[in-house]
Each structure stands twice: as structure tokens, then as C-alpha cells.
Structure 1
Amino acid sequence: MNEAASIWVVARVHAPDEGGVQTYVSQVARAYARSGRTVTVFAKSSAGPRRLCEDGITLIDVGPAAHLVVYARLAMAMLRAWLGGARPSAIHACTWRAAIPALLFPRSLLVTVHGREVGRPSRGAFRLMNAVLSRTTRILAVSDATRRLLLDRAPDLAGRCVTVWNGVVLPGEERCEPVNALLRVITVCRLVPRKNVPAALRAVAACRGESIALDYAVIGRGPDEEAIRAALEPTAGGLGSTVMTGYVDDAELAERHRTADIFLHPQIALEDGAEMEGFGISVADAMAHGIACIVGQDGGPGELVRDGVTGLVVDGRDPAAIRAALALLARDPAYRRRLAENGRRFARENFCWDRHCRLALEGLVAEVAHVDGHGQEQLAISLN
């Protein structure tokens, strides 16, 4: 096998399970495959254990289990592939925890950090994270906000940590301006407290109180669903309807994007900044679809959107600011369309999975060739 043309992707999660990291794993693997590399993904999901091969990507899914068992299964699956001669040019771990079994193998190791998983660990978990990341070749932060969060805690990692924005899957056709009886506002996210969906519900209700007619859909599911439903009751009524759709498939999500006028995502950081939105793939998707976005200033989304140019950035803890931004876009369709078009153009120029993977591997192949040229093919069996 041509090692320079092969790469391992390692993750603790995978589709059909939902989440931002699952999306990241899938899109990174596809981007590497599009570049002509042979890709093997080692992961776990609720659908495993299984082995699938499609479009230049082999998925080795070790199946659900306790964390330590998953690590052991991933290490054994990788070891079997290694001993069978399938030795990659580099290994890309999609989180720092997924990098633990990858440390056994003498290859350039890339690790992606997304946000909260580097902000929350403390004590022993923090020491383990620092030890793992200190042994990587390159750390890929998905936003400057994520990079700052990591380096505030582990400044010695600055020399190996770079910011590389995530990509988006571009819609297949140009979007036409929707013609709706009422303005349609959507939020697409996993329902967790940092998404601040109750504040979005209150902002929609306040706008209706000012005689602004809005239909609002909250799309997604998650552990905060009960709290959001409780917040929904006092905000019901007025001009327009509010629905919680739960999970929707790709076709319905595409239709929601096609017909939406405003994307509302007033996220906040919690736990003194440790619990934050690292990038905001749903925000980037909405921008790419040409939807005017309102986002919170905390974390990655406040970095992706330039206030007043490609969308609006608000203090997610300020209900009046969220309401005012929503009312402004509702009452000024020309301004809304201008922000939407600027955001669409920015997303298409800057959010690219192929670019993400190209920058991730930049300069690494020569390093591997140097190691191989000196015959260093023995398997490392120690983390020290």
C-alpha cells in the first residue's frame, strides 16, 4: 500500500448517532477520500460492531460499550490493521480522547479540539488531556475561540495548535428568496443549555407582542428538551406559531433551510467559559444556505458572523438585544437580504472541508517519509 495515500481517522462516535462530532467525522473522512487517500475510520456507534466499505472509506465500528472498553477495542482494531500491513501516513483523531489509542502507533498524529471537551476537564482528566495533546504532531482548533480556551489552560501547546475552521456541505442549488405568509424563524441545534433556546423563545414572543408575525420552529432534540417545552408554554400565542419538531431527516432539514427567513442561535458560554459552542456547524450551514443569522457573541459563532455585515451578533444573556435584532431583521427585508447574501458568500469562501483537511496534513507527508526512510517501523507500545 502507498502509505502517503492512506490515513486513519479515529473517533469515539459515529453516525447513525447524532451530534456535531459525528458530522465532523463523516465530513473529514469524505474530504480525505476526495483527495485520493485511502481512508480507514475506527469508531464506535450504537449500530456496531460492523465493517463497511464505500467510496474509498472503510469503517471499522467497534460497537457501543463502556469508555475504557471502547478504547481497548479501538486499539485492538488499529493493531490488527497495522500488523496486517495497513500502515497509514498519518492518524487523525477527532477528539483528544480518541487520540489515546492512536498514541501507540509511530505516525504523525493530528488531534481536533472542538471546545467544551478541552474546557471542562479538571484534575486528573486535565493532566491526561495535556499529556495526550503534548504528544501530538498538530492540534487543530476549529475556531480561534477554541484555540484560546485550550491555550489559556495549556499555554505550552501554542506551538503545535492551529486554527482551521470546519466546512459545510453546500446546497445543491441556489436558494431563491422564500415567499412566506409569515416570516419563518428557525433554530437548528442539539437541545442543551448553552444553546439558550428559552431566550430565543422569549425573543420571538416579545416580537409578537410588538405585532410582528413570526412562525418559529425549534429543530433538534437533546437533554434540555423538557426545560425548553416548559419555557414554550408562557410564550405561546400572538401572531404566528411555535413548534418543536424534534429530529428531522436531511430532506426535511433542507426544506426548512430553503423556506427560512431568519436563523436564530443566541448561544452563551457556561461554567466560566468552559462550556461553550466551539464552532457552530448549524450556523455555518445556515449562512451557506443564504439565511440571515442572529448569533450569540460567545464562542465560535460570534467569530464566524461579522456583526452588521454577514449577520447580527448579540449578547445572548441580554433578552432585549435578542429581541431588537430579531425585530430589526423582521421589519427590514432589504437589510435582511443583504446580510443573508453576504453571509452566504462568506460561508462558501471560508467553510470548506477539503481545505480543512488539506491544512491539517500540510507538511506531514515529508515527515513520515523521513521516518520510514530510517526504518523506524516498530510499533510503539508505551505512552512514555
Structure 2
Amino acid sequence: MRVLQLITQSRGGPVDHATELAVELARQGHDSHLVSPPGPHLAPAATQGVTVHVAAVARATDLRGARAVGRLLAAVAPDVVHLQDRRAGLVGRALAGPRSVPSVYTLHGVPDQLADLVPGNLPIARSRRRDRLRYLRLEGLLARAPRSAVVTPCRALAAYARDYVGVPGDRVHAVPNGVGRDWLDRPAPRPTEAATVEVAWLGLMQPVKRLPDLVTAVDRVPGVRLHLIGDGPERIRLEALVAASGHPDRARFAGFRDDPADALRAADLLALPSAAEACPMALLQAMALGLPVLATRVGGVPELVRDRRDGLLVDAGDVGGLARALAELAGDAALRRRLGDSARERVRAHYAIDRTTRALVEVYERVAG
């Protein structure tokens, strides 16, 4: 099949997922195209059989960007277009429908104002009537377009799509994200007893990630050091929080990494204290490397991480519980080895990108008729 994927972001989990998928589609013999703003993910994809197109849609009302994407749709003439973020879903379906191009939209997450509609998530921002009109009714209309489908990376989001957005059940497909082969080919070193246990966090620094909870928990647990891999609007606030903590030397801001694999391999575990998640790529990547994970029971996380088998799960917002779980992992290298080994095998069996790609191709074939 000729598949054209559209993303309007240049970093983050959906970008990682779309890039891995584009490469795997090419590897499995499909004509794979990726439309994206400029970014470090494009060059590696282009060397692995993906046809890369640079086009930026800066906002939903960016008519110039939308016209550029429309020209690409006409030139490539894909069998299906796969839309990989919220803005891409809006613009891409508006363009694909009049051209009779089948479309698949992956709902990677929900707006902060509606986060608590997903089972397990905490409220993040106050919901207003216009938010429901904009995000629920508009999405419901778009999801009913002919020859279209909605993919969610977890069952929790599939329930949201059916129950709140109103997407017909036969158009919703829960297909978990997958990690690329490189993550599984080069695992992290096996855990050993160490004077300092290195705790990694990976992602975009924004309120939904509840990073102050993690900074506070690390400050309470002796013998651990936090490595914050990423950047974002919360960074200045976090730097001030760390500076005012009892142990400011125990947190390091590593910044955004084009390839975070080596930074994760240097860690002993990954912590993700978010208030809302779906199928986070950071967790999948860490688990693929054999790292034990400490995460919150939100959204699709319990579908991915089995408590005390692949990692430890705590309630979101429970800083005390987060600190106790962190102390347990830090003090028991054997537990970290057992959880990390199980996590790696779980990803290998259920969340590898080749498996994800085959499942998505079945969705493509269905909408393409």
C-alpha cells in the first residue's frame, strides 16, 4: 500500500511513533511517505526507505500550510492517509474527504480540559462548555466521514472515543504503540548494587506530567539522583523548585535529546508520575531496554505495565506513595532486575513495531475497501 502519514509536531511521543511506523512500513514492503515539519527525525527515516516531505502546519487555521499538504496529497495519491496528532487530524481529514482519500486518525491523547473523561486520569484543567463543543462534537463529526477510522493506543482511549466523542464502535480500533528494533537490539546494562541509583524521566515538561511530584519524592529518598531528559514550558518552574529543595544536587536537567536511548541506558529506572497518559512511548522505550518503571495508574498505563511484574504503579498525586515505591526500587537491585527483565519481554512480545504495523495495515485495508 501507499501510505502517507501527516504529523504537525517536530518532537514528542506521536513523532517517535510515526517515524518508527514509517520505517517499518517501508521495511515490510509498503510505499511509505512521511509529511512533517523540519526535525531531526526526518534524516534517519529517509535513509531507511521512507519518502520524506517537509511541510509545516503551524495551527489549525494555517491555510498556507494546509494548501501545501493538499498539494502533497494530490501528488502522492496515497491509498490511505494516517494522521498522527490532533492538528493533523483536523486538517488532514478536511483535505482527505473532498479528495475521497481514506483516512485513519490516531487519537494519542485528549485535551487537558477533558482528561478526566478517560478512565483513570486525574482532572488537569477546568472544562468549559465550548471545550466540549470544540473537541467532542467536532471530533464526532469528523470521525463519521466516509472511509475513515479512529485508532487509539489503548483501550481506555477507545472507551472515551466511543462514549464521549460518539465514534461508532466499528470505527474505533485499539492498536498499541510499538517500539523500533533498535530499542530491543541494545538493552541497558543489568542492574547492580550502587551507592547512587539513577532515576530517569523522559518527555515534554508540561503540567500534565506532574514533575513537581517526582522532584519532591526524589528529595525525600536518600541515594537517588534524578535525570530530567527533555524540555518544555515547565522547565523554569522546575529549576526553581529544585534550587529550593533540600538536595538541589540530586536533580540534573539533561535537556532535549534527538536520541535519548544512551541517556536511558545510563539510568537504573524510569519514573513517570503523570496525571494522564495513553500508551506513553517513554515507558515503552525504557521497558524495551530492560529498565524497571515506576508510573501512575492513569489512562492506558495499567494496560501496559503490570504492577509488581513489569514495574511499580502508584496513584497519581500520591507523593508519599511515589517516594515509598522509589525507595523500594532504589534499595533492591534484584527487584529492579526482575521487573526490568519482565518489562523487556513484555515489550518484545506485545509492543514491537512490526506487530503494531501489521495491525495498522489491517485498519488501512479496511478503510481503503
Q: Give me the TM-score of the superposition, normalised by structure 1.
A: 0.81
Q: Which residue of 1 aligns with 2:350?
A: 350
1:124-166 CA distances to partner (integer Å, 9 max, x unpaired)?
A: 4433211111115321101112212222312342221011000
Residue 116 of structure 1 contacts residue 278 of structure 1 at CA under 8 Å; is this kept in 2?
no
Which of 48, 59, 67 lines up with 2:60 in the alignment? 67
Residue 220 of structure 1 contacts residue 247 of structure 1 at CA under 8 Å; is this kept in 2?
yes
SS at structure 2 position matched to 1:187:
strand
1:105-132 CA distances to partner (integer Å, 9 max, x unpaired)?
A: 3233221111125947531443321111
1:102-141 to 2 correspondence within 5 Å?
Answer: 102-117=96-111, 119=114, 121-135=131-145, 136-141=147-152
Which of 225, 238, 255 lines up with 2:235 in the alignment? 225
Q: In structure 1, what is the Cα distance between the partners aligned to 2:111 and 2:20?
A: 20
1:54-93 to 2 correspondence within 5 Å?
Answer: 54-63=47-56, 65-68=58-61, 69=63, 70-79=65-74, 81=75, 86-93=76-83
Residue 2 of structure 2 contacts residue 79 of structure 2 at CA under 8 Å; is this kept in 1?
yes
1:288-307 to 2 correspondence within 5 Å?
Answer: 288-307=288-307
Residue 169 of structure 2 aligns with an amino acid whose one-letter code is A
Q: Which residue of 2 aligns with 1:247?
A: 256
Q: In structure 2, what is the Cα distance between the partners aligned to 1:198 and 1:35?
A: 43
Q: Which residue of 2 aligns with 1:176?
A: 189
Rate the CA distance shift 1:361–1:194 in 2: closer, same or farther, 3 A. same
Residue 123 of structure 1 aligns with an amino acid whose one-letter code is L
Q: Which residue of 1 aligns with 2:95?
A: 101
1:166 aligns with 2:177: yes
Rate the CA distance shift 1:117–1:159 in 2: closer, same or farther, 3 A. farther
Residue 199 of structure 1 aligns with an amino acid whose one-letter code is D
Residue 66 of structure 2 aligns with an amino acid whose one-letter code is Y
Residue 353 of structure 1 aligns with an amino acid whose one-letter code is I
Tell me by how many angstroms 1:243 deviates: 0.8
Q: Which residue of 2 aligns with 1:154?
A: 165
Tell me by how many angstroms 1:66 deviates: 4.5
Cα RMSD over matched residues? 2.5
1:259-338 to 2 correspondence within 5 Å?
Answer: 259-268=266-275, 276-338=276-338
Q: Which residue of 2 aligns with 1:6?
A: 2
Tell me by how many angstroms 1:54 deviates: 4.5
Tell me by how many angstroms 1:8 deviates: 1.7
SS at structure 2 position matched to 1:220:
strand
Tell me by how many angstroms 1:314 deviates: 0.4
1:263-304 CA distances to partner (integer Å, 9 max, x unpaired)?
A: 111111xxxxxxx32211001111111111000111222321
Residue 36 of structure 1 aligns with an amino acid whose one-letter code is G
SS at structure 2 position matched to 1:31:
helix
1:195-243 CA distances to partner (integer Å, 9 max, x unpaired)?
A: 11110111111112xxxx11211111011112211221232428x7211
Tell me by how many angstroms 1:341 deviates: 0.9
1:234 aligns with 2:227: no
- Runs (5+) with no aligned partner, structure 2: 116-130
Residue 10 of structure 1 contacts residue 99 of structure 1 at CA under 8 Å; is this kept in 2?
no
Which of 12, 20, 41 lines up with 2:13 in the alignment? 20
Tell me by how many angstroms 1:354 deviates: 2.1
Residue 182 of structure 1 aligns with an amino acid whose one-letter code is T
SS at structure 2 position matched to 1:260:
coil
Residue 264 of structure 1 aligns with an amino acid whose one-letter code is A
Q: Which residue of 2 aligns with 1:257?
A: 264
Rate the CA distance shift 1:201–1:359 in 2: closer, same or farther, 3 A. same
Identity rate of aligned residues, in percent?
24
Residue 40 of structure 1 aligns with an amino acid whose one-letter code is H
Tell me by how many angstroms 1:324 deviates: 0.9
Q: Give me the TM-score of the superposition, normalised by structure 2.
A: 0.84
Q: In structure 2, what is the Cα distance between the partners aligned to 1:163 and 1:367?
A: 15
Moved more, 121-130 or 187-196: 121-130
Tell me by how many angstroms 1:306 deviates: 0.7
Instruction: Pick the structure with greater CA Rg.
Output: 1
Residue 8 of structure 2 contacts residue 56 of structure 2 at CA under 8 Å; is this kept in 1?
no
Residue 236 of structure 1 contacts residue 242 of structure 1 at CA under 8 Å; is this kept in 2?
no
Residue 43 of structure 1 contacts residue 74 of structure 1 at CA under 8 Å; is this kept in 2?
no
Q: In structure 2, what is the Cα distance between the partners aligned to 1:44 and 1:237?
A: 40
Q: Which residue of 1 aligns with 2:36?
A: 43
Residue 295 of structure 1 contacts residue 302 of structure 1 at CA under 8 Å; is this kept in 2?
no
